[in-house]
Structure 1
Amino acid sequence: MKKLSALLALLTGFAAGPALAQNTDGEVRKIDKAAGKVTIKHGEIKNLDMPPMQMVFRAQPPALLDKVQVGDKVRFHAEKVGGAYTVTAIEVQK
């Protein structure tokens, strides 16, 4: 069931239940659409065992970058994909 919840979170971006805890709050600091990358100042990313910091992520799919602007407060999900830290879902917080 845990794997199903994680898969659902990846596919939908934001699933209810335990997978929701894998989403992280952050602030978009830079967007590089040509490279398909976004810089986010973020809180702890528990599923990656990562402390709060600012870092660059790949965006998969790159169209996720069309949803955000520099300065946006966001909630996002990140995974390590092919050795690269990758945002797989992102949503602007209102």
Structure 2
Amino acid sequence: MKHWLTAAVSTALFATLAPTAWAQDALPHADAEVRRVDTRANTVTLRHGDIKNLDMPPMTMVFQVKDPAWLQHIKAGDKVRFTADKVGGNYTVMSLEPQPPAN
């Protein structure tokens, strides 16, 4: 009984956590240049390449950010790699990695 209960709890926990983790990992990355950072509105304007999961061609647009602290580490002109998704009707940056400057 104890082994069965442990397996059931582990399976339930995995089923609860895994879809969120998979969804984050499944988002394709895109490259972009930061055009503007607005810490008051928690937004970043990016000139980006294709965002495949959103069927979005290259363009410049404003995104919400999942974590406003990210905005403290970027500035206009920086190159970044990011993922985005539509959250609550808003296009939102879900992950953000500053890229090293080109030599």
TM category (shorter chain) comes to 0.7 to 0.9
Quick check: which one's helix share is greater?
A: 2
- The amino acid that maps onto 2:21 is L
Structure (1 or 2) with the larger CA radius of gyration:
2
The CA deviation at 1:61 is: 1.4
TM-score, scaled to structure 1? 0.79
Unaligned runs of 5+ in 1: none
The alignment yields a C-alpha RMSD, in angstroms, of 1.8
The CA deviation at 1:8 is: 4.7
Report percent identity of matched pairs.
53
Detail structure 1 runs of 4+ shifted over 4 Å in the superposition.
none
The CA deviation at 1:6 is: 7.1
Distance 1:39 1:49, change over 3 A: same
The CA deviation at 1:67 is: 2.1
Unaligned runs of 5+ in 2: 1-17
Partner of 1:76 in structure 2?
A: 82
State the number of aligned residues. Answer: 83
